[in-house]
Structures are given as structure tokens and as C-alpha cells.
Amino acid sequence: MPGQKVDGESLHRLFEHHGVTFANGVPTVWLVYVQYLQSAGVKPTTLNRVLIGGTACPRSLIEALQDDYGVEVLHVWGMTETSPVGTLSKALHKHKNLSKTEQRDRQVKPGRAVFGVEIGIRDGNKELPHDGKAFGDLVIRGPWMNFRTGPPGSS
């Protein structure tokens, strides 16, 4: 947003003026936005979905946006080299019957690889389980990834 202030009030005015329905940003952007909404006693009238990435999204922020303002949160993980999204945390149909607490427990995690992306955890050449406990090297590949795993000139 070149030339735009990135404070909660300015964001709210911008979203309302232009009828923004979907926006993305890092958690600090959404924290100042929610703080403004709370202090001003206003609610978004057009914004209905946000994508939050760049760092882990606090559970309290997810809860405020979804529960207090009806804005769906898509929590993502990625990096510049993954152009940019690698995972997306969005409930599947089978998760709709979980309690709100169980849904949030899933939502604060990085989620599943997006279509076309493969992610694994390795210890040397040994593939490790995706069990939430294994610790090793993260390996990721996909058709739009723009980095190499070896020295320059290797493929």
C-alpha cells in the first residue's frame, strides 16, 4: 500500500471506502486493526476474510477477528523462496463438528501443504513422521519454488 498509513483507523477507512472483502498481512497489521475496532466500537462492513502469515498468528487474534467481527482467518506459512505460500490452515469439512476450542487448536498450527507442494521432515536421508513431535530438516518443493537444494550449478 504505497503512500498509505498502516494504522488501524487508516486501514478501516480504506477497507470501508473501497469495499475490501479480502486482505492479507502479518499479525502486527491485524493486531493494530483489531485494537482500533475495539477502541472505536466499530465493525467492518465489507471485510469478510483475511490471510495472515509472516509469523505465527496469535490465537487471541484469530478469535477476535472470527468471533467478534465475523472475519474468517486463513493462517498461512511460507517464505520468499516458496513464492510465498507453502501451507494453509483451513478447516476441512470433517473438522466442522469439532468444538470451537479444537478448531482453534488446529487453526493456530501452520496447516497442510497447498496443492502442488510437497513438505517433509528429514534427518539426513531418513524421512521422519509428520506427528507434531519429530524434529529435523524441513524439505519443501513445488512447481513455483524458486530455490535450489544444492550448490550453484547443481539441479
Q: What residue ranges define each of the domains in the chain, with the CATH number in brackets? A: 8-115 (3.40.50.980)
pLDDT at 147: 58
**What span, in angstroms and rounded, lies between the C-alpha atoms of 38 and 28?**
15
pLDDT digits (tens, 9 = 90+) for 55-80: 899 999 999 999 999 999 999 988 87
Tell the residue number behind the cell numbers 505465527, with chain if given. Answer: 56
Which of the four pLDDT bands, split at 50, 70 and 90, describes residue 150? very low
Question: 2 pLDDT band (50/70/90 cuts)?
Answer: low
Percent of the chain with pLDDT over 90: 59
* The amino acid at 35: Q
pLDDT tens-digit map of 108-128: 988 899 999 999 899 988 999
Model confidence at 145, pLDDT cuts 50, 70, 90, reads confident
Distance CA 64, CA 137 (A): 34
Looking up cell 472483502, which residue turns up? 21
| Residue-wise DSSP of the chain | -TT---SHHHHHHHHHHHT--EEEE-HHHHHHHHHHHHHHT---SS--EEEE-SSPPPHHHHHIIIIIH--EEEEEEE-GGGSSEEEEE---GGGTTS-HHHHHHHHTS--EEPTT-EEEEEETTEEEP-SS---SEEEEE-TT----SSSTT--
User: Dihedral angle at the C-alpha atoms of 90, 95, 99, 105, nearest 10 degrees?
Assistant: -40
More confident position, 144 or 28 = 28
